Chains A and B, each alone.
Chain A
Amino acid sequence: MIVDIIITGLINGSSYALLAIGFSLIFGVARIVNIAHTAFYMVASYCIYTAFHKFHLNPVLAMLGAVVVTTIIGIVTYKIFIQPIREHEAVVLIATIALAIALQESMMLIFTGEFLSVPPLVAGYTTILGVKIFYQHLVTFASVLVILMGLHLFLEKTKLGLAIRATAQDREVANLMGMNEARLATVTVAVSVALAAFTGSVIAPLSIVEPFMWLHPLIMMMAVVVLGGLGSIKGSFYAAYILGFAESIIVFTLPMGSFLKGSVALSIMILVLLIRPEGLFGIAFEEER
């Protein structure tokens, strides 16, 4: 049971961390509360399903293809629907909700609402303390860590990363320093959608692929972002694992656990916010100019 809890917690936590960091990035740079973020995660899962079953690609290629296709969809929808109304924050909010519904319904039309499954990247399992651990779990966890490291290096060491962080801190001054804010926003959207797509393609083999699979991760992702502090990547990382483990502990120990997992995790978030209104690692934002 303890091994079960640890495995589920790590996997859930990793996927929430990736999603939340993507969401944070897009919020920080473009000030978009992107409800459609996890919808791209769902789209990527469907892409990888298509790649496997229609085109019979090998798993790694299928994953790469899914990420690329989803990122292109993300950029195109951003350019058409979101960019022209960027100044109206409330409107962007419902535009992303509508976008998420549109993506969900498109997938429903193409693939019907059936529960689909994707074979794992790496088949087989090993046994630790009498619990089956699929290699897919290990691969998922390892790849998430690699991506997180890569993202950290990208944000800290490259010029583009510096520009993204600068814009997140202060849009106007970044603009005055000659950073092309609109282009940067597009790049950030691409990075963030790619992160969502990557999460979708590594999680797809471990879960069921269906058009409504984006709702639960959406809520947990938002909880993670708030708990960790908006705009803090370190915060999102820790908060994701806190909530991931909270969920898995509830599921495995309480009788009605699977119903209550969301409630308990969200209650933890609210309790923390009562003590620290800016989240675990957040800095209280100064008023935007």
Chain B
Amino acid sequence: MIRYWFRKLFIILKNEILVLPSRVAVLLFVVTLLGLPLITHDAYLLRVLTLTSIFALFAASWDLLSGFTGQINFGHALFFGMGAYTSAILNKSLHLVPWGSIPLGALAAVLAGLVIGIPCLRLKGTYLALTTLAFPIILLGIVFAFPDLTGGELGISGIERLARSRMANYYICVVVMLVLCFAMWKITDSNMGIIFHAIREDELAVKAAGINTTRYKLMAFCLSGLFAGIAGGLYAHFMRIAGPSTLEVGLSFQVVIWSIFGGVVTIWGPVGAVFFLFPLLEFFRLWPQLRMLMFALVILVFLLYMPEGIFPWLRDKLEHECPRCKVRNNAARKVCRVCSADMH
């Protein structure tokens, strides 16, 4: 029995994964991420990777909303900050364990998604983008105005740890990120995901097909809020502080940069981009004065050459689509691996 499953796994590995460079890359990425603590225990490296995982989840949630449905959200930090502050307050005042406070924080972010989604969905395109920018700033003003509950500019500190050891923290964040990103990818592959695609391409046509687009857009807001809220809760419990930085305009802009840089409408693009850009920004700490300037220049220069995002660009270089059956093939192949049509 065990041998049977092992064989089956091996066949899947051979026929489905090893044939495409992008799938091999994803497999290597997951294995490396899960196996890294076995090789090194470097506290700094683990800390950077944990934060990277949290932000990767956050960036992927932006892609789910703005990439797929095309509703550009400039205030995505609202969900992150809502998740962070809610789980911090629940943990601090009600002494809820992280397992309880993070989901409740995410629920608060879903509610935030509903609250901003209902008025905002009357707006379109640039109006929507510029209006959503306002919400985290409104919440930030409220946070500053009630320092008793929210800690004002200092934020809420002394929150319970996610887990005792550094390793456990790392594994919780990485596994949560991998599982939820896989879930998001599955959502976008489902029926709902196809409707999201269609809304981005032509909302009027979707309406004409008898689909309630407002409901689906609201659904996108809530789902995206859920995942971003979980990221926010994880962040609060990992950093043990929920401060105004989780609501700043800078974070909203950062997530847009990450996602578009990695390639929108993919889920894996933003995740990869965060795993490229966040450690890069840490690496630039070697030159603290030039850090952000170099970061900005890297983005500007990369975009000049890869305007559709770096990972889709890379994938198009490594794989070609079969002209007959539209299955992706290794770029080196002469004939399609499924229908054996000539690739050129």
Which residues does A use to contact B, with CB under 8 Å?
Answer: 27, 33, 35, 81, 84-85, 87-88, 90-91, 93-95, 97-99, 101-102, 104-106, 108-109, 215, 218-219, 222-223, 225-226, 230, 256, 259-264, 266-267, 269-270, 273-274, 277-279, 287
Contact = CB atoms under 8 A, between A and B. Distances in A.
Contacts of A95: 299-300, 303
Contacts of B130: 33, 222-223, 225-226
B308 A266 contact: no
Contact of B141 (A102, A104, A263, A270): A263
A259 B145 contact: yes
Contacts of A102: 292-293, 296-297, 300
Contact of B300 (A90, A98, A226, A263): A98
B257 interface: yes
Contacts of A226: 127, 130-131
Contacts of A98: 257, 296-297, 299-300, 303
A97 B144 contact: no
Given A85-B303, A85-B307, A263-B140, 10 more contacts: A90-B264, A94-B260, A98-B296, A98-B303, A108-B289, A219-B133, A219-B137, A259-B141, A270-B134, A278-B127
Contacts of A106: 293
B134 A269 contact: yes
Smallest CB-CB A-B distances: 7 pairs: A263-B141, A102-B296, A105-B293, A266-B134, A259-B144, A101-B296, A98-B296
B303 A91 contact: yes
Nearest to B299: A98
Contact of B145 (A27, A222, A260, A269): A260
B114 interface: no
A261 B140 CA distance: 11
A266 B122 contact: no
Contact of A94 (B140, B261, B291): B261
A265 to B, nearest CB: 9
A288 to B, nearest CB: 9
B138 A267 contact: yes
Interface string B276-317: 000000000000011111011101100110011000000000
Contacts, number: 124
B337 to A, nearest CB: 32
Interface of B: 72, 119, 122-123, 126-127, 129-131, 133-134, 137-142, 144-145, 204, 249, 253, 256-257, 260-261, 264, 289-293, 295-297, 299-300, 303-304, 307-308
16 contacts: A27-B126, A85-B303, A85-B304, A88-B307, A94-B299, A94-B303, A98-B257, A98-B297, A109-B293, A222-B133, A256-B144, A260-B142, A260-B144, A266-B134, A270-B119, A273-B123
Contact of A91 (B123, B127, B307): B307
A101 B131 contact: no
Contacts of A225: 130
A108 B292 CA distance: 10
Nearest to A229: B127
Contact of A273 (B119, B253, B292): B119
Given A99-B300, A105-B293, A279 B141 contact: no
A91 B300 CA distance: 10
Nearest to B127: A226
Contact of A35 (B204, B253, B264): B253
A24 to B, nearest CB: 11
B131 A97 contact: no
Given A85-B304, A91-B303, A109-B289, A97 B257 contact: yes
A105 to B, nearest CB: 4
Contacts of A269: 131, 134
A246 to B, nearest CB: 13
Nearest to B70: A90
A115 B296 CA distance: 23
B253 A260 contact: no
B144 A90 contact: no
Given A93-B260, A97-B253, A267-B138, A277 B127 contact: yes
Given A88-B308, A91-B307, A109 B127 contact: no
Contacts of B297: 98, 102
A108 B290 CA distance: 9
Contacts of A222: 130, 133
Contacts of A81: 300, 304
Contacts of A223: 130, 134
A237 to B, nearest CB: 18
A43 to B, nearest CB: 14
B295 A230 contact: no
A106 B297 CA distance: 11
For B122, B130, B261, B293, which residue has the most chain A Cβ atoms within 10 angstroms? Answer: B130
A88 B261 CA distance: 12
A91 B126 contact: no
For B127, B129, B308, which residue has the most chain A Cβ atoms within 10 angstroms? Answer: B127
A219 B253 contact: no
Contact of B292 (A27, A101, A219, A256): A101
Nearest to A221: B130
B261 A270 contact: no
Contacts of A264: 141
A279 to B, nearest CB: 7
B127 A230 contact: yes
Contact of B142 (A105, A263, A277): A263
A81 B302 CA distance: 10
Contact of B119 (A33, A88, A274): A274
Contacts of B137: 219, 262-263, 266
Contacts of A99: 296, 300
